[in-house]
Amino acid sequence: KQEVTQIPAALSVPEGENLVLNCSFTDSAIYNLQWFRQDPGKGLTSLLLIQSSQREQTSGRLNASLDKSSGRSTLYIAASQPGDSATYLCAVVQGGSEKLVFGKGTKLTVNP
Amino acid sequence: ETGVTQSPTHLIKTRGQQVTLRCSSQSGHNTVSWYQQALGQGPQFIFQYYREEENGRGNFPPRFSGLQFPNYSSELNVNALELDDSALYLCASSSGNTIYFGEGSWLTVV
């Protein structure tokens, strides 16, 4: 059974810092991995999608990497801003399935 | 704007009652999935529909059921509500690798 773990559970940083969020998964037979952002009481917004054959994806100040063999992904946020404050969720899609298996998320607070 | 709308946004039900949550997705998105997100947890997969047929189910009891309609709308029905059913219910539609989530329906069972 696939399990996704995110560390840390919460993170508080001053504005301008670069930061890394970690995600690990137990079964490397994934189809893809996605990072989502969730604002309080809201739905999920897809940030980055990495196919199993890819190593990384970039969008603006965000960079996500994938090491499928070791079951790890990182989300790097450069020059953090207060508007980045949210919960970041990592999810994997298992090969042969379209369901997303989520971690519990990392709650990020960027202080002005 | 994801093009996925859910209703109602908030509702309160009494234990033992039944609830229907609705979702409207974009034209052409043949796959719709429902997730339950308890407070402080990641979303948990309930089930998925593809072209009006159930196409996968998570570890949820039969009192959780769904329907998908030809007009790209769908429903999640929960019978015999329990206190632990209190959660945010998220609908997601997909086309290829791109998945779009709605804002969710907050259900409180008292």
- The percentage of residues in chain A with a pLDDT greater than 90, rounded to a whole number, is 88
Of A71-80, B4-13, B20-29, B84-93, minimum mean pLDDT range: B20-29
- Environment class of residue A83 by beta-carbon count within 10 Å: exposed (0-12), middle (13-18) or buried (19+)? exposed
Mutate to test the interface with A, among B6, B34, B45 (most CBs of A within 10 A): B45
- CA B30 from chain centre, in angstroms, equals 15
Of A73-77, B43-47, B91-95, minimum mean pLDDT range: B91-95
Q: What is the arithmetic mean of pLDDT over A54-68?
A: 96
Query: How high is the pLDDT of residue A78?
Result: 98
Query: How high is the pLDDT of residue B48?
Result: 93
* E strand or H helix at B95: strand B87-95
Q: What is the arithmetic mean of pLDDT over A64-78?
A: 96
CB-CB under 8 Å, B41 with A46: no
Q: How confident is the model at residue B28 (pLDDT cuts 50, 70, 90)?
A: confident
Query: How high is the pLDDT of residue B95?
Result: 77
